[in-house]
């Protein structure tokens, strides 16, 4: 009798301590209890549309922020999203054309990510990505950007000391095999929605009656939006309209000369739509934080705001589908300076210095 009890005890001990490893899944011990996060949208801004299948959570943002700043997404661990989107340049890289992991130059200039969550008419200069979730897949695979493959990146996540836990907390995965690029890009998109205007620029405070614009800024404001007959209409506000300072539509602003629709070095929107009349059109970029995003335009070909204003005042270069709003505008040199001073009122350092969007490492 006594011997049987000992035998059972022994068997129990053996089974308790020598359980095969596969049965142990430490991920399931980590609670999945995401906390919903409310993004603060500044007054007068459009409604922030959040995809129903990717609600914003504290845990999702935390994961997305790490992924955005982690070179694990690149072939040789040398670059991350943030290498080309730096907070101090309003999430551009200060270069005319971005350089990727192999030192190869991309075709276009990095884009500001400020208020990117409101880009409902497509992302990139040509609008080829539908939304941020879809966009975030592309830099990893791009041979002149991070030059990696998603299966490799997902393997790196699985072996990583922190990522399985972070994916569990953000998305409730039950095993590391449920880590996918789709979840990674959802997290990145959640993070990117936090790169949003603060409502504290001088322009925004002026609209709320909290500060005054000086006379130069006010004249610049009036020319920009054509508020008065006593000053020339600089046309800007038609395409760079408030509050985002972009309609997010696609235009040819006369950046390059083109005798026919096939003469554009970069066909821009036309590559995406396949419509020849869209060749040479690019998405209107925001002008918020424009002082930080030089050099300007999709090809980084304009170095300063002075030259930008010269470009428009001249009516751009001739090309067949140049928008009719891009015509010669006669401005005195004082008026050009006033326009630039107005552009400076769009500076929003609070947005890009927001501690929640800085490098967590
Ligand atoms: C090598 C530099 C580089 C890297 C790395 C990079 N980007 Fe970009 N990013 C660019 C350039 C250049 C563009 C514009 C490309 C175009 O229009 O064809 C862009 C455009 C974007 C846009 C579109 C913004 C808009 O308003 O349409 C988003 C969003 C973005 N990047 C996010 C990311 C994320 C997320 C990562 C990391 C997964 C990343 N980028 C990595 C250079 C880079
Ligand atoms: C017909 C629409 C239109 C009008 C009018 C217009 N723009 Fe633009 N703007 C664009 C487009 C489109 C781009 C991007 C062009 C490209 O990169 O090829 C752009 C780019 C810019 C840029 C570069 C932004 C960046 O991040 O690189 C600045 C600055 C700018 N515009 C300022 C102005 C000012 C100032 C005025 C008025 C004098 C003005 N725009 C009038 C459509 C317009």
Closest CA to 305 of 335, 341, 346, 254: 341
Q: Residue 8's pLDDT is what?
A: 73
53-63-161 Cα angle (round to 5)? 130
Residue 10 phi/psi, 5-degree rounding, is -60, -45
Average pLDDT, the chain: 94
Res. 24: pLDDT tops 60: yes
Dist. CA 189–CA 116, nearest whole Å: 10
pLDDT digits (tens, 9 = 90+) for 84-94: 999 999 999 99
Ligand 2: residues within 6 Å at CB? 112, 234-236, 238-240, 251, 253, 255, 282, 284-285, 287, 290, 293, 296-298, 308-309, 312, 323, 325-326, 339
Q: Residue 336's Cα: distance from chain center in Å?
A: 30
Residue 327's pLDDT band, with cuts at 50, 70 and 90, is very high
Res. 1: pLDDT tops 60: no
Q: How far is the CA of 285 from the centre of ligand 2 (A)?
A: 7
Burial of 338 (0-12, 13-18, 19+ CB in 10 A): buried
For the chain, first and last CA: distance in Å?
A: 62
Q: How far is the CA of 70 from the centre of ligand 1 (A)?
A: 15
Res. 21: pLDDT tops 70: no
Pocket test for ligand 1, best of 81, 91, 122 (most atoms within 8 A of CB): 81
Res. 239: pLDDT tops 80: yes
Q: Indicate which atom in ligand 2 lies nearest the CA of residue 296.
A: 27
| Residue of minimum CA distance from atom 37 in ligand 2 | 236
Q: Indicate which atom in ligand 2 lies nearest the CA of residue 293.
A: 26
pLDDT digits (tens, 9 = 90+) for 205-223: 999 999 999 999 999 999 9
Res. 116: pLDDT tops 60: yes
Q: Residue 182's Cα: distance from chain center in Å?
A: 17
pLDDT digits (tens, 9 = 90+) for 96-110: 999 999 888 999 999
Q: How far is the CA of 102 from the centre of ligand 2 (A)?
A: 31
Dist. CA 17–CA 312, nearest whole Å: 76
The ligand minimizing its distance to the Cα of 342 is 2
């Amino acid at each position: 009798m006594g011997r049987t009890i000992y035998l059972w005890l022994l068997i129990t001990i053996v089974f308790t301590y020598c359980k095969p490893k596969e049965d142990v899944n430490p991920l399931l011990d980590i609670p999945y209890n995401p906390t919903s996060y409310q993004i603060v949208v500044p007054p007068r801004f459009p409604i922030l549309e959040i995809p129903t299948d990717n609600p914003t959570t504290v845990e999702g943002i935390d994961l997305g922020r790490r992924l955005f700043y982690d070179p694990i997404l690149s072939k040789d661990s040398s670059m991350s999203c943030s290498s080309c989107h730096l907070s101090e340049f309003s999430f551009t890289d200060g270069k005319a054309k971005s350089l990727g992991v192999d030192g190869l130059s991309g075709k276009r200039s990095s884009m500001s990510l400020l208020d990117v969550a409101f880009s409902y008419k497509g992302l990139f200069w040509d609008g080829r990505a539908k939304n941020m979730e879809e966009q975030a897949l592309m830099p990893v695979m791009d041979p002149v950007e991070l030059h990696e493959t998603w299966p490799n990146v997902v393997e790196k996540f699985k072996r990583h000391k922190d990522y399985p836990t972070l994916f569990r907390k953000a998305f409730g995965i039950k095993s590391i095999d449920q880590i996918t690029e789709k979840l990674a890009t959802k997290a990145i998109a959640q993070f990117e929605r936090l790169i949003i205007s603060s409502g504290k620029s001088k322009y925004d405070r002026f609209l709320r009656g909290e500060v005054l614009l000086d006379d130069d800024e006010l004249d610049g404001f009036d020319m920009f939006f054509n508020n008065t007959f006593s000053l020339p209409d600089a046309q800007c506000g038609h395409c760079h309209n408030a509050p985002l300072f972009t309609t997010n539509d696609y235009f040819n602003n006369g950046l390059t000369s083109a005798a026919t629709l096939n003469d554009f070095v970069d066909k821009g929107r036309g590559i995406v739509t396949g419509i020849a009349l869209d060749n040479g059109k690019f998405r209107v970029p925001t002008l918020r934080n424009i002082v930080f995003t030089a050099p300007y335009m999709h090809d980084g070909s304009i170095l300063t705001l002075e030259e930008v204003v010269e470009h428009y005042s001249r009516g751009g270069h001739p090309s067949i589908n140049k928008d009719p709003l891009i015509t010669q505008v006669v401005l005195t040199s004082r008026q050009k300076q006033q326009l630039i001073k107005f552009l400076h009122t769009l500076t929003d350092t609070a947005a890009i210095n927001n501690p929640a969007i800085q490098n967590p490492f």
